[in-house]
Amino acid sequence: MTQEKGLRPTGPQRIADLDTLKYFWDLMSRHFGDMPVDLSLFNFKAKKLTVLPGKERDIPMGQVYEKVLELVKEYYHKGEDILWRPAYSMPDDFPVSMIWLDDFKLDNELGLKPLLYIQTSPGRYQAFFKLTEAVPLKLARDLQRGLARALGDKSAVGYVQHRRMAGLANGKYPDDPLVIMFLGEEGDGILSPEEIIRLSPIPISIARARAGVAVPVSGVGDIPEIGADGITDNDTEGLLERKLVFEPIVNIGKRYKTLYIKPREAFIKRRDDGSIDQSA
């Protein structure tokens, strides 16, 4: 009996469709360039889930297939699942064009169809969309969060969250179902940032994300002029000059650090007679 090319036999070894695996990564590289990728190991077969995040890091997407093959040979048949994520090391201004949704609803009320999608288990899908233009990672995070609120798993919105790849088994289930890939029709799954913003049930400020500038955590610095679109009155209230002082304040109990930017005048203490208190 001739075994189909790319398929591992059942029994002590796990099945893997290597032709589909290669096609998946060829497509990803064609659409999303050489965005760096991390590869991680998950063992769902152990008594307690074990995870080795970032076993391989910062791999250009065009080279991921070869690296996955190395991990398949060493770990896959020991029960390890190989998952991937956009590289954790990418800075906020790194240009990306991929949007990913977990638990995507194929029959959605908006009628949106993805560029490609994978079936991770019967009835469950992960979908990929492509932006009409690359945007900074900072903005892509917001766009993905907004689209996920509309069409996917609202709790799985992280841009660097681990995800499956077509052609390998899903070890979360006893029968190790193979992850299957489906392609959208021509023109499906390509969205502009503005389209996602209109569809999002949560507000997204594209002007703020595009105009974001790196600022020091403390000290004094010059801020370049930015577009006023999407900036509320409260954001610019009292900004008397372009040279600002930065005061970091951490909101305890919240997920994010907030950097408050105040004009220099806000930190000057004056005596009753109007003179400046130099000790402040």
pLDDT number for residue 207: 58
CA distance 76 to 69: 9
Cβ–Cβ contacts within 10 Å for residue 151, how many?
21
Question: Per DSSP, which regions of the chain are E strands?
Answer: 36-43, 50-60, 81-86, 95-102, 116-121, 124-136, 180-183, 190-191, 219-222, 243-249, 258-263
Per-residue model confidence as pLDDT tens digits over 47-92: 888 999 999 999 999 999 999 999 999 999 999 999 999 999 999 9
pLDDT number for residue 233: 34
| Among 237, 259, 150, residue whose Cα is nearest residue 196 | 150
pLDDT number for residue 12: 52
CA gyration radius, the chain: 24
**Hey, what amino acid is at 133?**
E
Backbone angles phi, psi at 70, to 5 degrees: -65, -40
Has this prediction a pTM greater than 0.75? no
pLDDT number for residue 184: 94
pLDDT number for residue 109: 86
| Among 54, 52, 59, residue whose Cα is nearest residue 80 | 52
pLDDT number for residue 269: 59
Can you say whether residue 54 is alpha, beta or left, with left for phi > 0 and alpha for psi between -120 and 50 degrees?
A: left
pLDDT number for residue 91: 96
pLDDT number for residue 118: 97
pLDDT number for residue 163: 96
Cβ–Cβ contacts within 10 Å for residue 176, how many?
18
Sheet holding 50-60, edge to edge: 50-60, 36-43, 81-86
Mutual orientation of helices 64-74 and 18-32 as an angle, nearest 10°? 150
| Among 125, 155, 164, residue whose Cα is nearest residue 44 | 164
Q: pLDDT tens digits for the chain (280 residues)?
A: 333 334 433 345 799 999 999 999 999 999 999 999 999 999 998 888 899 999 999 999 999 999 999 999 999 999 999 999 999 999 999 999 999 999 998 888 889 999 999 999 999 999 999 999 999 999 999 999 999 988 888 777 889 999 999 999 999 999 999 999 999 999 999 999 999 999 998 888 775 555 443 333 333 333 333 333 333 333 333 333 333 343 343 334 444 344 444 444 544 556 666 666 655 4
- Output the six-digit token pair for 63: 């080279």
Cβ–Cβ contacts within 10 Å for residue 12, how many?
6
Per-residue model confidence as pLDDT tens digits over 98-133: 999 999 988 888 899 999 999 999 999 999 999 999
CA distance 98 to 265: 43
CA distance 105 to 98: 18
